[in-house]
Amino acid sequence: MAGPIRVLIADDHEIVRQGLRLFLDLQDGLTVVGEASDGAEAAVLAETDEPDVVVMDLSMPNVDGIEATRLVREARPSAKVLVLSSFVDERVIPALRAGADGYLTKDAGAEQLAQAVRAVHRGEAVFCPEATRRIAREIVHSSTRPTGTVTVVFTDIEGSTEVLERLGEERARLLFRDHDALVRNLVEQHAGTEVEKEGDSFMLAFSGARPAVQCASAIQRALAEHPIRVRMGINTGDVVAEDDRYFGRTIYLAARVAAEADGRQILVSDVTRALVGDLPEITFADRGEHELKGLVGLHRLWEVGWQT
């Protein structure tokens, strides 16, 4: 007769670990064999405690849950990893690539969690509805991503670390989530594509310069009264597409243009400005020639007057 399913809990909050242990140990056929307070400890315990399933938080210090998932699968390839996160965000796909077998949020019911542990142990994939929708959206976006000549938009929250320290982690996280949802909604409305999301920065792609500038302006208008200040840089040119990523000088220049911007400011390259032409709702101000780090020569930049 097979023994109980051996479970390792990885979460940096002791009260969460204790609650999960108390519940899981009461379930028929489950036993908690260890607790890890960060990703590095989870990888070590995966090798020494030989768990069948690791219940993995994503937001942990030192080594986060995504890297920890990768390390756990290397240390104990037979172990399954069930992500249990506070919310669903851009980390779903990276978690899957790292080797996660399921993804639930922490508001899942107790019985749902127990069933998910048993399911991933059987080799079944388990995802909450929000994670499933996120995966489906990523697949659709990957298949519709523009190629060839593309207008690239980089966005970045100005002083995100200062915002975190000033408002506190919980309130700042809610503001960041609100910002992310707003950006994604407006990008979808303007037929754009989210290429990458890293930290508090987005890389967006559009098949035309006009919708890119219109979308950037709409984002700034929507955030005009928001505590978060976003800076943006836009450039147009040919891109090199490989798997689900873009490469090339066009991308690099767009990132450098964004680095020149201040909060609530949109800067565009000379090429993008020429392609947009005249729009009744948007003005452009010549901000002169700039030296951009890592790029030869001077580059004329234009500021978008999105307030009009």
117 band by pLDDT with thresholds 50, 70 and 90? very high
Give the pTM. Answer: 0.60
Contact 138, 130 (CB under 8 A): no
Closest CA to 103 of 48, 91, 111: 91
pLDDT tens for each residue of 174-217: 888 888 889 999 998 998 988 888 878 999 999 999 999 999 99
* Strand 245-247, strand 240-242: pairing: antiparallel
pLDDT at 163: 78
User: Rounded CA gap, 234 and 113, in Å?
Assistant: 44
184 burial via Cβ count (<10 Å: 0-12, 13-18, 19+):
middle
Which residue's entry shows tokens 């995802």? 127
Length of the chain: 308
What is the dotted CATH code of the domain comprising 5-134?
3.40.50.2300
Q: Where are the domains of the chain?
A: 5-134, 145-305
Average pLDDT, the chain: 89
Cα–Cα distance between 133 and 239 in angstroms, integer?
A: 28
Q: Is the pLDDT of residue 133 over 90?
A: no
Residue with tokens 């508001």: 107
Question: Phi and psi (nearest 5°) for 180?
Answer: -60, -45
Does residue 67 contact residue 58 with C-beta atoms inside 8 Å?
A: no
In Å, what is the CA distance from 280 to each residue of 60, 121, 191, 305?
48, 59, 20, 11
pLDDT band at 170; cut points 50, 70, 90 = confident
Whether pLDDT at 70 is above 70: yes
| Separation of alpha carbons 242 and 153, rounded Å | 18
Q: Which CATH superfamily is domain 145-305 in?
A: Nucleotide cyclase, GGDEF domain (3.30.70.1230)
Tell me which residue has tokens 């994604």. 184
Mean pLDDT of 210-226: 94
Report DSSP state, residue 53: E
